[in-house]
Chains A and B, each alone.
Chain A
């Protein structure tokens, strides 16, 4: 009998639920495992003690690591909407991430706006920016598109570094002192910020998943596969590429805003080509054309960067480069992409074996 309703739903989604549970428990588990007991007064006991421990020692640090991973994961997913799902190679994705940081930074620090209002305005700004960049760059394809988007990103990078606006942007020093509302402060209430980042990540993941599984998302995939043929079916491919770019741009801008609030500031480096290369690496390592791929890629790249940096100091970039080459050579579709492709084959092989066994029983070979 076919299972229906909740049991079926549970059966299909249990891995996601397990991961979600672990993500939700992480701050407290980290607090118990790595918190600093000496920093918590002994009179605090029970649940209160667990909550307090999560704000201390290495537990606090590792929550910060995971918050940064959530932010980078959203950024990488947004890039994959272009690269992996629509086949659009943009070299200027950092521009949206950086815009997110600078827009909320300028509004919160210099205009004295609340964080919520700043994010609201950012949505509008990111929408207009991605529409404008898309309208101008999506007319060309391939390398030319990469170059046009790169030029746009460099424009914003130069703008952020320009000494003429030092009193607003801080030029090459960056814009510091971008504070979220005190009750969400990443320094005083790390666990609260962790849950803010977790909810943000989940929302963006579900939104991206819905987009790629929507009629629009299917057309995006068709464009990746064969743009000319999609047009011959009657799709105005420009419109669909623009939708992908706007979705990716807004998502990246929101990730950039959260990044600025978490780090309490932005520097021009978030707008640099290096940021785009990082997000490209995360997407490719994890697996372009999947959503879990960029998430995993962001986590791996961030962790690897941290550990290699601790173990080898300045040469870590070189070691990371070598690792990246090895992954691309041995896992050409990224980690998730390669596993998916292989498991498909494994499953087919096992299904075939099982079929033969069953048929063998039905029709025993004549002796």
Chain B
């Protein structure tokens, strides 16, 4: 049986004042898979994420989630439909503690955010969920530290925790290991692997570290200058000559 397509882009295009950042990209992400997008700097990977998550409106083309058109919806609506996103550049709530940040992400999933007459601690389930996720990403013991005071590696973990707490079924991970110390990376790749193995989630991953990508991915799409250059299993991609040339800068 063919696996279902969860997320699809059709001829998605983004131009910035004539500069084509994403050129007619048609991508199909299958349910439950970990799909990596690789490519040299400026290949349009982050722009593609911005188009999917609603941060930027596309110039042309469509984004479909389970066959439904979500092109041009505001970010909060796309988030509520189950697409969660982490950011390449650390993008947190600087003065909120780890627990409070993750609790807010958990609360975003529920329907009680406009209960302005109740004390927020009345809804323990958000806090419990936040604590469980903090534990899962390896931030236990740091619950009461403000995000700005965390070391970089922990900020990356908090970024993932925020994403997980909203409970998305499609995860867009934009370079989760960016700027992390080499010793910390296995912890994060383990986490991503576990997320995939738990099932039920589809992961779209942008990553530069080849060993991470080759290890984790079910499928890989290679982007170059805004276009899709190649797509296939890790084995197919590592054998592809065009990909090698693109990375060496000959294309």
A residues apposed to B, CB below 8 Å: 210-211, 213-219, 221-222, 225-226, 228-237, 239-240, 243, 247
Contact = CB atoms under 8 A, between A and B. Distances in A.
B105 interface: yes
B105 A215 contact: no
20 contacts: A210-B117, A211-B116, A213-B119, A214-B120, A215-B112, A219-B104, A222-B104, A226-B94, A229-B91, A229-B92, A230-B93, A231-B76, A232-B55, A232-B79, A233-B76, A234-B109, A234-B166, A236-B76, A236-B77, A243-B114
A221 B96 contact: yes
B17 interface: no
Contact of B85 (A211, A214, A232, A236): A232
Interface in B74-91: 74-77, 79-80, 85, 91
Contacts, number: 94
A237 B93 CA distance: 14
Contacts of B123: 215
A225 B96 contact: yes
A226 B91 contact: yes
Given A233-B104, A234-B76, A234-B80, A222 B93 contact: yes
Contacts of A232: 53, 55, 75-76, 79, 85
Contacts of A231: 74-76, 79
A233 B105 contact: yes
B33 interface: no
Contacts of B76: 231-237
Interface string B91-109: 1111110001101110111
B110 to A, nearest CB: 8
A267 B205 CA distance: 62
Contacts of A211: 116
A217 B121 CA distance: 12
B117 A214 contact: yes
Contacts of A210: 116-117, 119
Interface in B98-150: 100-101, 103-105, 107-109, 112-121, 123
B162 interface: yes
Nearest to B105: A233
B74 A229 contact: no
A236 B166 CA distance: 14
Nearest to B121: A213
A214 B116 CA distance: 5
B79 A226 contact: no
Contacts of B112: 215
Given A219-B104, A234-B109, A235-B108, A229 B93 contact: yes
Contacts of B113: 215-216, 219, 235, 240
Given A215-B118, A234-B80, A234-B108, 13 more contacts: A210-B116, A216-B113, A218-B107, A222-B93, A222-B101, A226-B94, A228-B55, A229-B162, A233-B104, A233-B105, A240-B113, A243-B114, A247-B116
A234 B109 CA distance: 8
Given A210-B117, A216-B113, A234-B109, A222 B91 contact: no
Contacts of A225: 93-96
A223 B162 CA distance: 15
Contacts of A213: 119-121
A236 B113 CA distance: 10
B90 to A, nearest CB: 10
A233 B82 CA distance: 10
A220 to B, nearest CB: 9
A240 B114 CA distance: 8
Nearest to B148: A225
A228 B162 CA distance: 14
A214 to B, nearest CB: 5
A214 B118 contact: yes
B92 A222 contact: no
Contacts of A217: 116, 120
A236 B107 CA distance: 13
Given A214-B117, A216-B116, A243-B114, A228 B104 contact: no
Given A219-B104, A232-B85, A235-B108, A243 B91 contact: no
A215 B107 contact: yes
B119 A239 contact: no
A214 B112 CA distance: 10
A66 B108 CA distance: 42
A233 B162 contact: yes
A215 B114 contact: yes
A229 B86 CA distance: 10
A226 B92 contact: yes
Interface in B145-173: 162, 166
Contacts of B74: 231, 236
B120 A234 contact: no
B115 A216 contact: yes
B114 A239 contact: yes
Nearest to A239: B114
Shortest 7 CB-CB distances between A and B: which pairs?
A: A234-B79, A225-B93, A216-B116, A233-B108, A234-B108, A234-B80, A231-B75
A235 B165 CA distance: 14
